[in-house]
């Protein structure tokens, strides 16, 4: 194993899902729904296979039907306009999009400012691209709307140096559930323009937002279109995390850099699934509203249960994760807590510390996923109450 990658070991998701299997615990660790997405979308994939659409290598940038659907979806929900031929790229999940964006845009030694805690593939992909990560820590904060993790804009400004090439954002944010506000995004955008930085923004949870203010893509802000690479995927929005269809939208000069890397990572992405996701992106508004309403009820079920069990709870504005603080339970080390939790009460969770460079800053925080059936969450809440 090359030395740059050795520090990353096995992903926490593999470790914790294996623990769930061996102990028979309720798995609220790895974020994946325990019911599949819409029947008609599954049927569309089957139909594509039967009709021979996408069974052989599809076009490198993605099938035209999906690129058009991505562009139409971005217009419908965010008022953005993209040319499906030159400004949309289909990828193998957001994971490949992140890798291809970093490999395509970074020179060795370039610095990447990223919001810590960060999704685990960011650090590994920055390393693979020869970049250097510069974390800016989101800090727990009690405000009028409850506890949330917030970005300190002065810390962000201080993290930018002459070697900074890009800011890597994620909103709605995994694992904290924070949705960056218009004011925060405006400040980030102003900084990017002032220091001539690129922004790569991971918006896979764009539809899982409970805040009435909703999700704002940073690319919509003044001066950002030319410098933003936006990433999303079908996994979370349509509950098909195994299909691995994602996409990138960016102006042609940036998109072609991402495509240059993508063509040597996977060359193309799963053909028949692309046709099915094209149909999914055209589902009526009610699909997206119902998804959100269902998850909101589940968020509250789990967050209330965790609070009752004695956890400190950060009720998320978005995503399908609740971050908790285990200190009110008399614990201080979230990693040890998560390793012991399946034995103690039959539940698996993820320690947020693994998403930090400053491990101490993340030590007491633990993440629980609520994208599960109501009865599974009720069972988990009962088990947690026995802690
Ligand atoms: N980014 C974030 C923030 C995630 O939580 C995930 C996990 N779903 C991904 C990217 C990966 O998405 P995909 O499964 O589409 O590769
Ligand atoms: N995005 C999901 C999570 O954060 C799953 C990630 C994975 O399995 N790599 O739990």
Asked whether 111 and 129 are in contact (CB, 8 A), the reply is: no
Helices 285-308 & 374-385 angle (0-180, nearest 10): 10
DSSP state of 106: P
Q: What is residue 15's predicted lDDT score, i.e. its pLDDT?
A: 86
Collapse the DSSP code of 193 into the 3-class scheme (helix H, G, I; strand E, B; otherwise coil) and give the result.
helix
Interface confidence, given as ipTM, is 0.97
* CATH 3.40.250.10 applies to domain 3-30+286-385: no
Q: How far is CA 91 from CA 61, 271, 329, in A?
A: 8, 11, 42
* Average of per-residue pLDDT values in the chain: 96
Tokens at residue 178, please? Answer: 């924070």
| 312 CA → ligand 2 middle, Å | 23
Say if strands 88-91 and 246-249 run parallel, antiparallel, or are unpaired. antiparallel
Q: Ligand nearest 355 Cα, by number?
A: 2
The string of pLDDT tens digits covering residues 220-253 is 999 999 999 999 999 999 999 999 999 999 999 9
* Mean pLDDT (whole number) for 53-75: 98
- Atom 5 (ligand 1): residue with closest C-alpha? 174
Q: Does the model's pTM come out above 0.90?
A: yes
What is d(CA 108, CA 130) in angstroms, rounded to the nearest whole number?
4
- Mutate which of 13, 90, 91, 95 for ligand 1 pocket (most atoms within 8 A of beta carbon): 95
pLDDT > 90: percent of the chain = 93
Over the stretch 149-169, which tens digit does the pLDDT of each residue have? 999 999 999 999 999 999 999
pLDDT in tens, 77-101: 999 999 999 999 999 999 999 999 9
4-8, 23-27, 175-179, 375-379 — which is least confidently predicted? 4-8
| Mean pLDDT of the 22-37 span | 95
Whether residue 17 has its Cβ less than 6 Å from ligand 2: no
Quick one: pLDDT at residue 82? 98
Residue range 255-285, pLDDT digits in tens? 999 999 999 999 999 999 999 999 999 999 9
- Tokens at 270, concatenated: 């799963």
Give residue 3's pLDDT band: very low, low, confident or very high (50, 70, 90): low
On the 0-12 / 13-18 / 19+ scale of CB atoms within 10 A, 262 is: buried
Tell me, what's the pLDDT at 314? 97
Q: Give the separation between CA 249 and CA 82, rounded to whole angstroms.
A: 7
Domain boundaries, the chain: 3-30+286-385, 39-280
Which CATH code for domain 39-280?
Answer: 3.40.640.10
pLDDT at residue 298 tops 90: yes
3-30+286-385 shares its CATH topology with 39-280: no
Q: Which atom of ligand 1 is nearest to the CA of 98?
A: 10
Residue range 300-312, pLDDT digits in tens: 999 999 999 999 9
Decide whether any atom of ligand 2 lies within 6 Å of the 23 Cβ: no
Chain segment 168-227, per-residue pLDDT in tens: 999 999 999 999 999 999 999 999 999 999 999 999 999 999 988 899 999 999 999 999
- Residue whose tokens read 């539940």: 347
**Residue nearest ligand 2's atom 3 by CA:** 31
CA 95 to ligand 1 center in whole angstroms: 6
Residue written as tokens 């004011």? 183
Asked if pLDDT for residue 5 goes beyond 80, the answer is no
Q: Which ligand is nearest to the CA of 367?
A: 2
Q: Which residues line ligand 1 (CB under 6 A)?
A: 93-95, 119, 170, 174, 202, 204, 233, 235-236, 241, 244, 246
Q: How large a percentage of the chain has pLDDT more than 70?
A: 99
């Amino acid at each position: 194993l090359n030395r740059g990658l050795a520090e990353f070991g096995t992903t926490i998701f593999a470790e914790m899902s294996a623990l769930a299997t061996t102990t028979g615990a309720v798995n609220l660790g790895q974020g994946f729904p325990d019911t599949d997405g819409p029947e008609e979308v599954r049927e569309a994939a089957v139909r594509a296979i039967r009709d021979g659409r996408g069974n052989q290598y599809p076009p490198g940038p993605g099938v035209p039907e999906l690129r058009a659907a991505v562009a139409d979806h971005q217009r419908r929900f965010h008022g953005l306009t993209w040319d499906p031929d030159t400004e949309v790229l289909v990828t193998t999940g957001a994971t490949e999009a992140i890798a291809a964006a970093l490999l395509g845009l970074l020179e060795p030694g370039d610095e990447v400012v990223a919001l810590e805690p960060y999704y685990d593939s960011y650090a590994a992909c920055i390393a693979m691209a020869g970049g250097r990560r510069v974390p800016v820590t989101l800090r727990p904060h009690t405000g009028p709307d409850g506890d949330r993790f917030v970005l300190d804009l002065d810390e962000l400004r201080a993290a930018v140096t002459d070697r900074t090439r890009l800011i890597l954002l994620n909103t709605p944010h995994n694992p904290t559930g924070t949705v960056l506000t218009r004011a925060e995004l405006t400040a980030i955008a102003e900084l990017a323009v002032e220091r001539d930085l690129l922004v790569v923004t991971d918006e896979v949870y764009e539809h899982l937002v409970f805040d009435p203010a909703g999700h704002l893509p940073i690319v919509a802000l003044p001066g950002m279109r030319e410098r933003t690479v936006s990433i999303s995927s079908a996994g979370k929005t349509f509950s098909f995390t195994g299909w691995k269809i994602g996409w990138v939208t960016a102006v042609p000069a940036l998109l072609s850099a991402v495509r240059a890397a993508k063509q040597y990572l996977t060359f193309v992405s799963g053909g028949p699934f692309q046709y099915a996701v094209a149909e999914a992106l055209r589902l009526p508004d009610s699909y997206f509203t119902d998804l959100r309403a269902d998850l909101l009820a589940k968020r509250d079920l789990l967050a209330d249960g965790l609070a009752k069990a004695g956890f400190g709870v950060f009720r998320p504005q978005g995503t399908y994760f609740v971050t908790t603080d285990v200190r009110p339970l008399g614990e201080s080390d979230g990693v040890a807590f998560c390793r012991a939790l399946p034995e103690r009460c039959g539940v698996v969770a993820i320690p947020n510390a693994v998403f930090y460079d400053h491990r101490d800053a993340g030590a007491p925080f633990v993440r629980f996923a609520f994208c599960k059936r109501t009865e599974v969450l009720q069972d988990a809440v009962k088990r947690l109450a026995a802690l």
